Amino acid sequence: MHHFQYRGDQLMCEEVPIDRIAQEVGTPFYLYSHATLTHHFRVFDQAFADIPHIVCFAMKANSNLALLKLFADLGGGADVVSGGELYRALKAGVPPGRIVFAGVGKTREEMDYALKSDILMFNVESSEELRLLNEVAGSMGVKARVAIRINPDVDPKTHPYISTGLKKSKFGIDISVALEEYRVAEELPHIQVVGVHQHIGSQITEVTPFVDGLVKVTELIVKLRQRGFTIDYLDVGGGLGITYKDENPPVPRVFAEALIAVVKDLGCTIVLEPGRVIVGNAGVLVTRVLYNKSTPAKHFTVVDAGMNDLIRPSLYGSYHSILPASRKAGKETVVTDVVGPVCESGDFLAKDRSMPVTDPGELLVVMSAGAYGYTMSSNYNSRPRPPEIMVKGDRYFTIRERESYEDLIRGEQIPPEL
């Protein structure tokens, strides 16, 4: 369910015609619906109401401060994967006690920053990381709360780039050697073991891989407790998929029921790290048609947003539905590649898409762009990044300004010796 629907022939975001926002802020721009974000967060959170839990929103999906503040106000926390994300979370007012820190390459500086901030826990991915964390915590005279990320070796049946729980993956500790890793942690005086973590991948559209992973992790928790470890937190990661085209992922209630059935007797606080499922369909990218171009082989619709703004189609071959902001009657259908201005053949938003012909100046709305959209954007081709706009009811707010040419060269210097 989302609040991007046609009223007559006008595509609206809640109560505001997208066309009107485009006239006022220019194109391209990202657009989010406050009501959709709120609804998605609440539905997910309430699905787990029967057990103690914390929803730590996975910030890498969308790290805008306004969104983080919204989720924090709804009782959410944050799953961070860098010092920069931790900085954003704290700036947005996310309580440190609801922040977890993941990632295979945490630096000494990032550990120091997170320990000073007194976050809930580190999700640790290797013995060397454990030892460094112990050293950093020791030098500060504190103990680091730790969950070890377990790789349960399950196939999430998603794109290989976003599968993280297979045996050959760089993530986590292989479940077959997990007990040894916990023994390493036990020997370290400045490490306090508090939990177990898993995260098996992203855009997962079935419940089975989550349940299979959790069954293995639950067995591990039983063994750990027999050996005297205190396991208060079970972090089940994120990864629940959304509908981009015709996928049929379980709704949060169904997902939650399946997970709760596995974990309910453990007495752990369940940490959840949803990203895409909260924000994916709560945001769109709005772009303007610049030109139609036909070659002997193909038809192209050239628009003013490119792979630097939304890289998912180029990077993963992802499908995003593309809709006109104003529907026009009697248009012929054309099979076209929707491409951006970037000087790469990989710069496309859609390939061989059958859609109504659009004239220069018309607006196209790239749907399901709220997750891994802006956060993966770049300045490639020295293109200023687009603004982010949030609609709330019949009003809209700029939650990040469009970059200027000056922003593009900020920090650059030409040494006088040159």
Ligand X SMILES: *Cc1c(COP(=O)(O)O)cnc(C)c1O
Residues that bind ligand X (CB under 6 A): 58, 60-61, 79, 102, 199, 202, 237-240, 273-277, 371
Q: Would you tell me how many other CB atoms lie within 10 Å of the CB of residue 218? A: 16
Residue nearest to ligand X (CB): 275
How far apart, in whole angstroms, are the C-alpha atoms of residue 358 and residue 328? 9
Tokens for 123, please give them. 């999700």
DSSP 172-232: SEEGGGHHHHHHHHHH-TTEEEEEEE---BSSB--SHHHHHHHHHHHHHHHHHHHTT----
Minimum CB separation from ligand X for residue 263, in Å?
A: 17
198 vs 287, which CB is nearer to ligand X?
Answer: 198
Shortest CB 117 distance to ligand X, Å: 18
Cβ 273 to ligand X shortest distance, Å? 4
CA–CA separation, 241 and 253 (whole Å)? 14
Amino acid sitting at position 142: V
Strands 29-33 and 283-294: antiparallel
Where does 231-291 have alpha helices with state H?
252-263, 276-279
Task: Between 16 and 311, name the residue whose CB sits nearer to ligand X.
Answer: 311
- Which helix (H) or strand (E) is 10 found in, with range? strand 10-13
Q: Which lies closer to ligand X via its Cβ, residue 204 or residue 390?
A: 204
**How far, rounded to the nearest angstrom, does the alpha carbon of residue 396 sit from its chain's CA centroid?**
23
Smallest separation (angstroms) from ligand X to the CB of 21? 26
Q: How far is the CB of 277 from ligand X (least distance, A)?
A: 6
Identify which of residues 134 and 198 has a Cβ nearer to ligand X in the complex: 198
State the Cα–Cα distance between residues 111 and 54, nearest whole angstrom.
Answer: 22
- 268 a catalytic residue: no
Per the residue annotation, which of 13, 56, 268, 343 is the catalytic one? 343
**Residues in the chain, how many?**
418
Q: What are phi and psi of 306, to 5 degrees?
A: -135, -170
Nearer to ligand X, 126 or 358 (CB): 126
Least CB distance from residue 162 to ligand X, whole Å?
A: 7
Q: Which of 384, 397, 386, 298 is nearest to 348 (CA)?
A: 298
Query: Which residue lies nearer to ligand X by CB, 10 or 205?
Result: 205
Question: Torsion angle of alpha carbons 237, 243, 247, 250, nearest 10°?
Answer: 50
**Would you please indicate which residues are annotated as catalytic (active-site) residues?**
343
